[in-house]
Amino acid sequence: MKFETIDTGVIDPETLPWTPYVPYSPEVLIKLLKADPVRGEFISFLKAPVDMELPKHHHSGTVIVYTVKGAWKYKEHDWVATPGSVVFETAASSHTPIGVSGYGDEIITFNINVGDLIYCDANDTMLAKENWRTAVARYLDYCKEHNLTPVDVTSFDG
């Protein structure tokens, strides 16, 4: 039965690729670590140049962001997320991420997303959505294109 193999495990990020965040911002890289296809939680790293700007987006669920390196902010908020800080995003919030200078050339964040991320235009028209499913598809496409053998990031078998 499904539960018999479920176990606690470690994920070594060195074994997983950085994939360009197409079609949004190819200079932004995502490393998907784990995705739960039942609940919709997915865990990833994001790496971006300090001059990055990502489109405005809405989150259906919570997001927890630990900043490993560099600094960034949301245009809609005054605060800046610097290395070691933790951002807690509540369900149905929306915002526009931009890099903040003064903390190096590169931004790396560790992210725990639940549910969808929806990209909107200036009139809040929904343009595209990202979630566990699109994150897994991007990872598998990248592996195929680069002749890498994918691991099952949707497995919790320890």
Cβ nearer to a copy of itself, comparing 18 with 26: 18
- Distance, CA of 45 to CA of 65 (rounded, Å): 9
Taking alpha carbons only, the member of 139, 137, 107, 153 closest to residue 12 is 153
Cβ nearer to a copy of itself, comparing 28 with 35: 35
Cβ nearer to a copy of itself, comparing 26 with 39: 39
Minimum distance, C-beta of residue 47 to a copy of itself, in the bound complex (Å): 12
CA distances, 81 to each of 2, 56, 86 (Å)? 40, 17, 7
Cβ nearer to a copy of itself, comparing 79 with 147: 79
Q: Which two tokens stand for residue 155?
A: 């497995």
Residue 69, Cα to own-chain centre: how many angstroms? 15
Q: Which residue has the tokens 């990031």?
A: 153
Minimum distance, C-beta of residue 64 to a copy of itself, in the bound complex (Å): 6
Q: Which amino acid is at 132?
A: W
> Which stretches of the chain bind a copy of itself, using CB under 8 A?
1-3, 6-13, 33-40, 43, 58, 60-62, 64, 66, 74, 77, 79-82, 84-93, 95, 110, 112, 114-116, 118, 126, 129, 131-133, 136, 150, 152, 154-156, 158
Minimum distance, C-beta of residue 77 to a copy of itself, in the bound complex (Å): 7
